[in-house]
Amino acid sequence: MDDMDDLQDLKARRAAVLLAHNYQPDEVQDAADHVGDSFELSLLASRTEAEVIVFCGVHFMAEAAVLLSPEKVVLLPDLEAGCPLAESATPADVRSLRAAHPGAAVVSYVNTTAAVKAESDVCVTSANAVEVVSALPQDEIIFLPDANLGRHIAERTGKRVITTGGHCPAHRAVTVKDVERARAETPGAVVMVHPEVPPEVAARADLVLGTGGMVRQARERPAKEFVIGTEAGMLYRLRKENPGKSFHLLSPALWCPDMKKTTLDKVTEALRDLSPRVVVPPEVAGPARRALERMLELTGGGS
Ligand code: 13P
């Protein structure tokens, strides 16, 4: 029996489902039951009948699974897998922005802690941010923590967006020069970037999309060559699902060390020991869950 058989056997015995984000290492994606973007994985977590969810991603994603499936055991194979962007915003930031802009809606990116979600009116992911913010009655929006995504939302919705100025270290490192180099080296390729990249980079791309949108565009467009402006792990799935097409990474800076902390050994150990488990205190879980459920309602994803 090899390691993968051990893992699949343990998974069956634990009645577990293995969810992996699009940025996860190749072998983790191969072992997963579902690979997806943060929105798709939240939906799957809210609907799964499994007793245990092994979340192969980073801490805020596992927390969102706990909020949406409170009766399940949610395991994060490496508790150190965090997100500097999510950790950059605090509940105190939300409270002071709310005090300064009392008429504004507080919209938090899913890349936030549960404590920040608990102070928010609604959550969004990169896949639905424009749709959710457009659906809100308020024209003034406090959005945190990603400043580049906040700017993208403002441009697409025409609303006034106030942000805290946070960034994803990998996405913010992409430059206009990277796009110019890609255009010169791969003329005719479709350049797709994540909305967390700087606005001057987004302005020069063909498409600005979350990772799920990139998967669909790569599948549906007749183009044969794509340049990808998001975390490097994305290329494995795109290449696997589109063998006749080629995919290039826009910049070597697009690499998230936290997403690479998951290994198959850690997944196997987590299933064997039912640890490390992610939990959210009830006083935080209630209001944080409401912000996520409001997102699902506004996107037609609620039950
Ligand atoms: P997605 O919403 O496309 O999954 O992106 C998640 C993310 O953390 C981007 O840095």
pTM: 0.96
Contact 104/52 with Cβ under 8 angstroms? Answer: no
* Bridge partner residues of 140 (DSSP): 160
Q: In this structure, which topology does domain 174-249 adopt according to CATH?
A: Rossmann fold (3.40.50)
278: Cβ–Cβ under 8 A, 6 or more apart, which residues?
Answer: 55, 59, 62, 63, 65, 66, 74, 75, 76, 79
Alpha carbon 289 to chain centroid, angstroms: 17
Cα end-to-end distance, the chain, whole Å? 40
The band of 303, judged by pLDDT with boundaries at 50, 70 and 90, is very low
Q: Which class is 3-82+259-280 in CATH?
A: alpha beta
Ligand 1 atom closest to the Cα of residue 170 is: 10
Cβ(233) – ligand 1 distance below 6 Å: no
| Range list of β-strands (E), the chain | 16-21, 34-36, 52-56, 73-75, 105-109, 122-124, 140-144, 160-163, 190-193, 207-208, 225-229, 246-249
pLDDT of residue 37 exceeding 80: yes
Q: What is the distance between the alpha carbons of residues 78 and 59, in angstroms, rounded to a whole number? A: 9
Domains 3-82+259-280 and 85-167+285-299 share a fold: yes
Cβ(57) – ligand 1 distance below 6 Å: no
The band of 301, judged by pLDDT with boundaries at 50, 70 and 90, is low
The band of 1, judged by pLDDT with boundaries at 50, 70 and 90, is low
Domain 85-167+285-299 has CATH 3.10.129.10: no
Q: How many CA atoms lie within 13 A of 124 on its CB side?
A: 27
Task: For the chain, give every domain's residue range.
Answer: 3-82+259-280, 85-167+285-299, 174-249
pLDDT of amino acid 5: 77
Q: What is the distance between the alpha carbons of residues 233 and 259, in angstroms, rounded to a whole number? A: 9
Cβ(126) – ligand 1 distance below 6 Å: yes
DSSP 250: S
